[in-house]
Chains A and B, each alone.
Chain A
Amino acid sequence: MQKFFSNRKLVIVIILLIISFGLMSVSVAVRNKKSTPPLIQQFGNDVAGAVDRVIAWPVNGLQSASNSVSDLLNTYQENQKLKKQVDQLAQAKVNAQTTAAENKQLRKELKLNSSLSSYTTVSASVIARTPSSWMNQLVISKGATSGIKKNMSVMSETGLIGRVVEVNQTNSKVELISSTSSNADKFAIQITNSSGKTVNGIVSGYDKSTGYLEMGSVTSSVKIKKGDKVVTSGLGGVTPKGLYIGTVASVKQDDYGLASEVEIKPAADLSDLTVVTVAEK
């Protein structure tokens, strides 16, 4: 044991630690500032992503196989329930189509080509999740070549799940709204109550114990009830308007009694993601 901390080894250890620390600081700084990582980093990510795809393919196949077995088990009950919904949906769909057509026409008359709510989507599959307890990140299978840019919003089939934080050529990283480590979850949102009035705000945090999003410092006098719908408001640039986030779970006073805090139940299940949609404004 005497030799363990001999001079030479101590020097090597210290140099290694300094190198490691330097690399970390630089990469954290680059991650926060630049819109895309340096070319060499993109290249490495693309190579790793290509290999990962080969390995993730059978794993995802197994997952979808087991999913279909469990789906099969409760098919009957689901079918009964869905049949009822389909009738109502047909009506709603026709209604939405006419409204969309009318909307398009009115926009043309107003010469309003792009509004806050118009966006295009790119679908991508999830290759991997960062195996770390500190970063709630996904790697998805589309990158800059498919038109993905940093800070775009990412949705699952049911609702908003996060934001693109790093873009490579053929894959990109998505930070989930459940991560508290950075400002990835600061979405501008809008709550509409049953009488059609809206409250604007920003997602201020994520409560890990309940899985709810929080919207703090709400001073508006508009009454918000449990079950009111929450969508993105489109303010602030990159996020389009009208992406569904979830419903209001509860409204309570904040610690000082001056403003209220709204808890939002996200519609998306953050632990079961295989296909995601990136919304491009």
Chain B
Amino acid sequence: MKSRLCYIFPIGLFIALFLDGSLSNVFAGNLFKYPYSSVLHLDLLWIVFAVFLDDDDALPVGIWAAFVGLVYDWYFTGIFGVYLIALPLVVYLSRLMKPWLDLNFLTLLMVYIIDITITEAFAYVWYVIGKVVTNNLADFAVYTLGPTIAVNLAIFVILYYPVRQLYLRVN
């Protein structure tokens, strides 16, 4: 059965992607304050909700994730093949975890932390190999991954109930 989610999911995904960009600019003073830099991941939040709240796995989340990853590489960084692979990878791993988990606030939070870590670590490793960045691993963990998780968890806590309600209503 096709639900309205088929249309709402991709639209929301792209809104989340572009919101990442413009909110990063508006709050640049807070998000990228030396030495910390935190990366907004509203798109990842949307993907995690889609994977876990779509009960019969009917949504092509993986394909949309690859597409939105491609747009991210294309439009924001200009370096292809990083988020293009990282985002579908996250969808795949989340789907692997799904059968073992009881769906509630805390488990979803945990999965979200794991997903952010995987995405950021993947991007970091890839950029290091491509010589786009030259930071060392400790700097990455302390000054990028830590603040990123903190900021995104705060956003997650705020958005959990509204987004869940939205998904349950349209599903």
Query: CB within 8 Å of B: which residues of A?
Result: 4, 16-17, 19-28, 31, 37, 41, 44-45, 48-49, 51-52, 55-56, 59-60, 62-63, 126-139, 165-166, 173, 180-181, 208-209, 211, 269-273
Asked whether B25 lies within 8 Å of A126 as measured between CB atoms, the reply is yes
Judge whether B40 and A131 touch: CB under 8 Å.
yes
Please determine whether A24 and B37 come into contact, CB atoms closer than 8 angstroms.
no
Which chain B positions have C-beta within 8 A of A56?
18, 21-22
In the assembly, what is the distance between CA of A224 and CA of B77, in Å?
39
CB distance from B86 to the nearest CB of A (A): 9
* Contact status of A59 and B148, CB under 8 A, knowing A24-B79, A25-B130: no
Using Cβ atoms and an 8 Å threshold, which residues of chain A touch B162? none
| B60 → A minimal CB distance (Å) | 17
B64 adjacent to chain A (CB < 8 Å): no
* Residues of B contacting A211 in the complex (Cβ-Cβ under 8 angstroms): 34
Residues of B within 8 A of A (CB): 14-15, 18-26, 28-29, 32-35, 37-41, 71, 73-82, 84-85, 96, 123-124, 126-127, 129-135, 143-144, 148
Q: Which residue in A31, A55, A136, A273 is a CB contact (below 8 Å) of B79?
A: A31
Tell me, rounded to whole Å, the shortest Cβ–Cβ distance linking A249 to chain B.
16
Minimum distance in angstroms from B154 CB to a CB of chain A: 16
Whether A48 pairs with B78 at a CB distance below 8 angstroms is no
Q: Which residues on the A side are within 8 Å of B76 (C-beta)?
A: 128, 130-132, 135, 137, 139
Contacts of A133 in B (CB 8 A): 32, 37-39, 143-144, 148
**Pairwise interchain contact A20-B130, C-beta atoms closer than 8 A:** no
A52 lies within 8 A of B21 (CB): yes
Q: In the bound complex, do residue A173 and residue B85 qualify as a contact, i.e. CB atoms below 8 Å apart?
A: no
Q: Which residue of B lies closest to A16 (CB)?
A: B85
The one of A20, A31, A139, A209 in contact with B82, judged by C-beta atoms closer than 8 angstroms, is: A20
- Contacts A52-B22, A129-B28, A130-B21 given; does A24 touch B15 at CB 8 Å: no
Give 11 pairs: A residue, B residue, CB < 8 Å, sorted on A. Answer: A22-B81, A27-B73, A44-B71, A55-B19, A128-B18, A129-B24, A133-B37, A134-B127, A208-B34, A208-B35, A271-B28
Given the complex of chains A and B, what is the CA–CA distance between A64 and B18 in angstroms?
Answer: 18
Kindly provide the distance from the CB of A1 to the nearest chain B CB, expressed in whole angstroms. Answer: 10
**Which of chain B's residues have a CB closer than 8 A to the CB of A41?**
74, 78
A24 and B19 contact, CB distance less than 8 A: no
Inter-chain contact A272/B28, CB cutoff 8 Å? yes
Q: Write out the residue numbers on chain A whose beta carbons fall within 8 Å of the beta carbon of B74.
A: 41, 44-45, 48
Q: What is the bound-complex CA distance between A129 and B76, given in angstroms?
A: 8
A156 to chain B, nearest CB (A): 12
Contact indicator A24/B21 (Cβ below 8 Å): no
A-B contacts besides A48-B71, A59-B23, 7 pairs, CB < 8 Å: A20-B126, A28-B79, A128-B21, A130-B21, A131-B40, A133-B32, A135-B77
Whether A45 and B133, one on each chain, are in contact in the complex, defined by CB atoms closer than 8 angstroms, is no
Closest B residue, CB atoms, query A67: B26
Instruction: Name A173's contact: one of B78, B81, B148 (CB within 8 Å).
Output: B78
Q: Is the CB of B25 within 8 A of A273?
A: yes
Tell me the bound Cα distance from A63 to B124 in angstroms. Answer: 31
Q: A23–B14 contact, CB under 8 A?
A: no
How far does the Cβ of B159 sit from chain A's closest Cβ, in whole Å? 16
Chain A nearest CB from B33 CB (Å) reads: 8
Q: Is the CB of B24 within 8 A of A130?
A: yes
When chains A and B are docked, how far (Å) is the Cα of A17 from the Cα of B81? Answer: 9
In the assembled complex, the CB of B7 is this many whole angstroms from the nearest CB of chain A, namely: 16
Q: Which residues of A contact B143 (CB under 8 A)?
A: 133
Shortest Cβ distance from B36 into A: residue: A133
Residues of chain B lying within 8 A (CB to CB) of residue A130: 21, 24, 76-77
Decide if B18 touches A55 in the complex (CB within 8 Å): yes
A127: which B residues are within 8 A, CB to CB?
21-22, 25
Cβ B129 vs Cβ A21 within 8 A: yes
In the assembled complex, how far is the CB of residue B31 from the closest CB belonging to chain A, in whole angstroms?
9
B34 touching A24, Cβ below 8 Å:
no
